Chains A and B, each alone.
Chain A
């Protein structure tokens, strides 16, 4: 008889009817999990640099535990060696000593307080570790491909055995802290994956050689951890189904599937199916990869093992995992980024509130922050990593202090501000001269490589505006007269940016606006210069290049995509190259003529560039209406690109914060 930790009955919830396969139980080892949902272990850098758990992390986890509605909720992977070679993130939790158990227990208790199943993960970061020390450890001293990672030392045979024991000891601490499921991380370039891969394991002792030998360390860890966990605590492992390291002679898929089979033989109770390493040159989880793209790997994994298979990786909506489970191609739906963006995501699915989900836009800002030793943050969820701070959450204003708020602009900044202010009790009116809400995101979403997913942001905001009774006035341009007539208590200017042509350009006919181009409202010539090398310019350049135009991107920023986070920017750089877009960064346009422009480099060189059209995407702050509002003595806030042209994230975060302040 499988053990049940918490009783859950989903039968009365609409989500259980819509997605019956997500909300049916599954047995993992001797544990009955009431649904197929898992918040997968995700680093957040919220803990002390000494490895002790902080209150911020406990609250972060509590929210996710509430979200999984009885499913599995894993805390971030812990490092296990006092030498800290396995530590991959400055705020990573540690479990190399019993002194860490009380903090770990706080997390387990927080997860249990939401009647969810608490998962503990063992994660030696191996090749991508040693964040606080000079050298990392691994099966072999293979040099790093990426300079940001530390040089590697080959572990001695004794050190490998010690490392195995460290996993076992840490697992025992996890059990003592009260966790219900144990997981070993063997993915993306972490230590276990280093042992498994023929790219990084060149050993000739019992821990190297053929795939069986390379699996030996994993086998000893699984068996040792199983011993301390006993029959009631399932032990799972996360393993790469494909390393995507063909270019450095990594494991072929058949070797990866062999690792799954060996893990099962060693006693693993489930496998979390992943792919790619941090040093792979192929994208795996960014927005340019279609949703559900990797489900075939879960299916293949299930063809190789009998134990349950779990998977995350571009599964942001419940329909795909529900269908995959129904088809027998998947057993559990894992989430990382989708629950960073919305901790309540599966709960909203269960309650039939899917339109209230704030969807992840797969920008990978969360990863970029972690790799730069900064605490987790989310591009579109302003409360992420602030769960412990009640100041970050809307509170009703006192009776009699409600205001009438006029928000000018129904883009992501204005809409975000609107529903937050309305939620707090203000009477909010949003105006936009266009007939559709969404602001410049409507055009931005036309750029190639998955940008249509950005619209999920405003879709969520529109739902929330409706929910909290925001009055939306579309097709209404706000003028000084309208402000005077309405005379609100507060005006929020979310009018978006002003597009700024190159100083030398004036108003020549061959100069067109990026929004018109993205909408497809205006024709451009075969040779196009795009002025402005931030994201709007990149999006337009790629769209035009894919239409077969010869595109040159010119901008003042030192690097193109200055406003795109580094974990996504590399994709754009590759796409620009692949599409033949020539890029001049750190440059100005000093002359515009009918047949071309003259680009001036930062160091004074002049380069003639032939073109038929110049697309203006460079932006500046929007000063319109400021004087009119100030002249009336009305409280005023300026947010989003109207304040400083930045990106979607800044718009959302600005809007949220001002929504809290009004």
Chain B
């Protein structure tokens, strides 16, 4: 029986995009729910950062079984950076990992991110989006640092919601 490859692939592709969009919207809907039931005066930014921290912590646990140290520190950082970029891509971003100037660092560059656009629909500040992204990735590293006994550090150097046009995250071994 003939299969219309274009139809099959494009249907899956559109469904993927719809699902990615729904994931982000669901997060912001739940953020609104949390704010609605939170005590009066709750700072939305604090709530957003707490959510990022909890989500990141949980996602970090999923990464532990997928990482290994066999390729050494440089390979480990590239693998970890690739995993973080992969999470971004699953959400609908376009991210990748690049080696740094020294073996102890890699950079995660994201040129497209669905979070700021959706955040605007929910009147969320762009700074909250930037800080939440950074906090989530930092929280992912916490258990990984302990598990592999290597202090990891992640800093956001550039961010789309800050008007830089892309995100640049530096993942390095903490000194």
- Residue numbers of A with Cβ under 8 A of B are 147, 582, 584, 601-603, 605-610
Contacts and interface: CB of A to CB of B under 8 A. Distances in A.
Given A582-B10, A603-B94, A607-B13, 16 more contacts: A147-B121, A601-B13, A602-B94, A602-B112, A603-B89, A603-B92, A605-B9, A605-B13, A606-B9, A607-B6, A607-B9, A607-B10, A608-B5, A608-B6, A608-B9, A609-B6
A609 B121 CA distance: 34
A533 B55 CA distance: 38
Nearest to B111: A602
5 contacts: A603-B92, A605-B13, A607-B5, A607-B10, A607-B13
A610 B6 contact: yes
Contacts of A610: 6
Contacts of B89: 603
A529 B10 CA distance: 15
5 A-B pairs with the lowest CB-CB distances in the bound complex, closest first: A607-B9, A608-B5, A609-B6, A605-B13, A607-B10
Contacts, number: 22
Interface of B: 5-6, 9-10, 13, 89, 92, 94, 112, 121
Contacts of B112: 602
B interface, over-half SS: helix
Contacts of A582: 10
A610 B13 CA distance: 18
Nearest to A582: B10
B53 to A, nearest CB: 28
Nearest to A584: B10
Nearest to A602: B94
Contacts of B5: 607-608
Contacts of A147: 121
A582 B13 CA distance: 14
A607 B12 CA distance: 11
Nearest to B9: A607
A603 B92 CA distance: 8
A22 to B, nearest CB: 48
A552 to B, nearest CB: 8
Nearest to B8: A607
Nearest to B93: A603
A147 B10 CA distance: 28
A605 B94 CA distance: 13
A584 B92 CA distance: 17
Contacts of A584: 10
A147 B9 CA distance: 31
Contacts of A608: 5-6, 9
A479 to B, nearest CB: 41
